[in-house]
Amino acid sequence: MINMNPQGGVATGAVRPNAGIDVSKQHLDVCWGTHEQRWVHDASGWKELTAQLQAAAVDLVVLEASGGFERGLVCALQDAGLTAARVNPRQARDFAKSMGVLAKTDRVDARVLRDFADVLARHQDRAKYITAPVDAHRAELAALVTRRRQLVDMRVAETNRLALAGKRAVRSIKAVLRTLDKQLVDLDGDIDDLLEEHFSAQRTLLDSVKGVGPVTIMTLQAALPELGQLNRREVCKLTGVAPLADDSGSRKGKRRTWGGRGDVRAVLYMATLSAIRHNPVIGAFHARLIAAGKLPKVAIVACMRKLLTILNAMARDAAAWDPAKHVQAAKNA
């Protein structure tokens, strides 16, 4: 049971307070201990805020992922030597509801995040909630990959409009498509240069696996830096391809996959479809599942999990794809 202080936070013998920060586009609402304050959301505000948190000897700072608005702040906190945990907004909201907090304002959210920080700071698995320091090259790669995905979405939208457009509109749409195609070529060149300069070894490893193409490689490098650092269960859960239990009492519910990093899961799905056709290990595994009566979608998700497990092991051991090893393992599975 968690005992709460009258002023807020968890009642423990620890003297170091924890902080919660509600991030918006223009300002930051911060709560640590019994203190509450608002700062401007810019570099000068970050500097003043980190100085205050350092002076207060804050242990853990919790903030929500806010569509990218929090990235600069997280870097500022880490540069100042503060420990930050960026959490899913749904987690924070569920925590608030569990504590009976139904109101939602910026100040209330900051208090809830402070209380959430008090819990996470003493959690036995605290380390897995901590946001790892941001690598500048990986951050740049992530930004380029995100922009590429945006351009692809725009191209799909324009292509769909083309089928219903009138003659004059067609000229406009085709001009936009030509521009988008040129932008994609330029962007792919920038991404390729960045991968070659800073992620060459990792790219070579992943590129040795049939079914894993350039888009999968760039996405894994940008959005899954934990690849090779977690065990197979953890990396599958992080990606959203691990079956999760749904049991209660004598009821045994269906295991379902949900959550995780959607951008990684999307490219992993496409890579798996390719691997089923061209990779003997994944193809044989898929064939066995279908022969055993598994539904096609269940078989594909299982293949996604197997492919990710192989890629994770390769990254962990810094070992390229070994056909003999994996084919033999597939036969023995």
Q: Is the pLDDT of residue 4 over 60?
A: no
- Give the chain's length: 333
Task: Answer yes or no: are the C-beta atoms of 172 and 153 closer than 8 Å.
Answer: no
Instruction: Assess whether pLDDT exceeds 60 at residue 328.
Output: no
Residue 10 pLDDT > 80, yes or no?
no
Higher pLDDT, 325 or 6: 325
DSSP labels for 11-45? Answer: --S--S--EEEEE-SSEEEEEETTEEEEEESSHHH
Kindly report the backbone phi and psi dihedral angles of residue 69, in degrees, each rounded to the nearest multiple of 5, phi listed first. Answer: -65, -20
Q: What percent of the chain has pLDDT over 70?
A: 93
Among candidate residues 158, 181, 198, the one where a domain is terminated: 198
**Among the three residues 129, 145, 162, which one is the final residue of a domain in this structure?**
129
259: left (phi over 0), alpha (psi -120 to 50) or beta: left
The answer on 120 and 31 residing in a single domain is: yes
Mean pLDDT of the chain: 89
* DSSP β-ladder status, 83-87 and 27-32: unpaired
Mark whether 152 and 248 lie in a shared domain: no
C-alpha distances out from residue 225 to 216, 238, 239, 266, Å: 13, 11, 12, 16
Q: Decide the pairing of beta strands 27-32 and 35-40.
A: antiparallel
Residue 246 lies in a domain: yes
User: What's the pLDDT score for residue 253?
Assistant: 79
CA 193 vs. chain centroid, Å, equals 24
Q: How many domains in the chain?
A: 3
Q: Are residues 107 and 233 in the same domain?
A: no
One domain for residues 205 and 259: yes
Co-location of 157 and 93 in the same domain = no
The CATH number covering residue 55 comes to 3.30.420.40
Which among 153, 150, 149, 155 has a CA at the least distance from the CA of 177?
155
Pairing mode of beta strands 83-87, 19-23: unpaired
Within-domain flag for 5 = no
pLDDT of residue 259: 81
Instruction: Taking each helix axis as running N to C, give the angle between helix 200-207 and helix 167-198, from 0 to 180 degrees, rounded to the nearest 10.
Output: 110
Q: Is the same domain home to 194 and 206?
A: no
What digits encode the pLDDT tens for the residues 227-265?
A: 999 899 999 999 999 888 877 888 887 888 878 889 999
Residue 13 lies in a domain: no
Residue 219 has pLDDT above 90, yes or no: yes
Which letter does DSSP use for residue 8 in this model? S
- Give the global pTM: 0.80
Q: Which two tokens stand for residue 297?
A: 């979608």
> What is the C-alpha to C-alpha distance for residues 274 and 110, in angstroms, rounded to an integer?
45
Look-up of token digits 């600069």: 72
Query: Could you tell me if residue 4 is inside a domain?
Result: no
Is residue 214 domain-shared with residue 272, that is, in the same domain? Answer: yes
What pLDDT was estimated at residue 15? 67
- Residue 134 CA to residue 328 CA, distance in Å, equals 39
Domain region containing 43:
19-129
Nearest to 218 by CA among 237, 232, 203: 203
Reply yes or no on whether the pLDDT at 129 is more than 90. Answer: no
And the tokens for 25? 């586009």
> 109 and 38 in contact (C-beta within 8 Å)?
no
Query: What does the pLDDT look like over 284-300, one tens digit per residue?
Result: 999 999 999 999 999 99
Higher confidence at residue 326 or residue 81? 81
